[in-house]
A and B are shown apart, each in its own frame.
Chain A
Amino acid sequence: MDETTFIHAAQHGDVAAFNQIVRAHQAQVYRTAYRVLGDPASAEDATQDAFVSAYKHIRAYRGGSFKAWLLRIVTNACYDQLRVKQRRPTASLDAMLVDPDNPAPGADRAAPETPHDFAERQELGATIQRGLTLLPADQRMTLVFVDIEGMSYDQVADAMKTNVGTVKSRLSRARAALRDFLQKQEELLPAPYRLKSGQV
């Protein structure tokens, strides 16, 4: 059964079919929420809220990219969590936990990763997360959607209810700001991830 069948069944109240959709998208949704929010607990809440809201409003889905439709709900859930975090700032002890079985998209998984490499990658992830946290929420979401989740500009514009021009400008500023942050933190990065002079 494909996703369309599950969506059709979920639109008729089939929770089990909707859970199939949840299983297919929950890693991406949680990853996005975690990158945007920078806090596992808030990301968990946002993910759960997003899926509950998606189930409640799945009858409003009229076709098109379900991923974009779902990420639009995730965006709203993240905004809600950001407002909550602004009112009640929290610090998470397990913010550095990553999933070794669920690597980042785009990472080369051909060679087996040694513990040393895994540790270095965890350090890289923490540094990037700190840099993302410094970005404005709109720029952060745009960068996460495009560079981490691999969404197109149109999908991001649809998910964030804006136009492609705004997405381009937000992404450009977000990349530039994160680049400046990473260049300042380059000495703290593991050697394999530093900017080499030959790359320029």
Chain B
Amino acid sequence: MLGKQNFSERHIWSQARLSEYLDQQIAPAERAQLETHLTECAECRTALASLRWTIALVQQAPAPALPRSFTLPVPAQRAASPTFVFGLARFATALATLLLIAVIGVDVILQFSGGVSMTTALAPQTDKQVAAPVIAPTLQAVAAPLPTSAPKPLASPTQVAPAAEVAKPTQVAKPTSALSATMSAPAAAPIVRATLPAPAPSMPPLLGAMPTITIPLGIGGGAPETPGTADAAKARSITPVPRASTGNAITATLTLPPPTATLAPMATLTATPSATAQPSPTPVAQARTEPTRAPQPTRVPAAIPQPLAAPLRWVEIGLFFLVVFFATLTLLLWRKK
């Protein structure tokens, strides 16, 4: 009974190991045990032969025809230049954008903080030079109703020198007055030096808009500086004095009439141009009086950034178009990629 059970168990075990035995994937001890069973079991020998036949048939089965090649499509070789150009365009776009931002930043800084500092920096120049940018504040300073009955002494020598010129008797004594004015002025006979630069298209409206002109009575420590103050008849004469130091400006010395005269509508100026000045039919008169020469900070910033602002605008516009150009180029190359 035990022998039959052992045979049955070995038969089942051998049936399960026939496949491995055919492939020689069985352990040597199991192989010996299986071969022992095969010698005494015809059914297992038949099963082994049928398995060997099956495997032989499977291996003899024809292979299917290869329908096509399964190679992958090779992408077309792109030239290296588009990639290089793409990187270059991207870099140029970034660089132009950064430059544009930097220029805009500089522009903004100049707009908001540069004006005040430039005003204070340029203020001394208005004292030393009688130039066109100083015209507007000087005129306004003259037109302002300043209580200048007592003229202030000049602080700097550069301001005293023109006063001395005004005080020269030869300038007043010369009867070359081509400039006449009818103004409302105190009887103390003040003197106004009018500096007339050549390009001055806006002079008549400014003069016409003057309601009153308050003119200091004296220059240089309160002492009368013009000998014409004693002579009322000569007070109505204006003697233009050529000044070598004013460049292309015209300097005229005015002796204002008594206060009974009327001013605004009839204010006429007739100037004789100096040797270096260009004659202008409508000159802008810069009535310069030393006590009112304090610079007006609110007017200067409008004129100072002009020489710098225009190039900045052009640079900003140019950079903007550069950014647009490079960005478009980058997008086109990116879409091609």
Contacts and interface: CB of A to CB of B under 8 A. Distances in A.
Contacts of A40: 64, 67
A30 B50 contact: no
A193 B64 CA distance: 19
Interface size on A, as a range, is 35 or more
B64 A99 contact: yes
Contacts of A105: 59, 63
Nearest to A95: B64
A147 interface: yes
A200 B49 contact: yes
B55 A147 contact: yes
Interface string B61-99: 111111111111111000000000000000000000000
A30 B71 CA distance: 12
B51 interface: yes
B65 A97 contact: yes
Contact of A107 (B20, B59, B66, B72): B59
B58 interface: yes
A47 interface: yes
A27 B63 contact: yes
A55 B75 CA distance: 14
Contact of B63 (A98, A146, A172, A182): A98
A98 B64 contact: yes
Given A16-B74, A175-B55, A193 B60 contact: yes
A34 interface: yes
A199 B66 CA distance: 34
B55 A102 contact: no
Given A30-B70, A124-B57, A200 B62 contact: no
Given A168-B19, A200-B50, A98 B69 contact: no
B25 A153 contact: yes
Interface in A59-80: none
A199 B53 contact: yes
Interface size on B, as a range, is 20 to 34
B70 to A, nearest CB: 5
Interface in A88-118: 97-100, 102-107
Contact of A102 (B16, B23, B45, B63): B63
A102 B65 contact: yes
Contacts of A189: 57
B125 interface: no
A99 B62 CA distance: 7
B328 interface: no
B54 interface: yes
Contacts of B54: 175, 178-179, 182
Contacts of B58: 128, 143, 147-148, 178
B51 to A, nearest CB: 5
Contacts of B20: 168, 172
A26 interface: yes
8 contacts: A23-B71, A51-B70, A97-B64, A98-B64, A107-B62, A124-B62, A183-B50, A189-B57
* A-B residue pairs, 5 tightest by C-beta: A99-B65, A106-B59, A172-B19, A98-B62, A19-B71
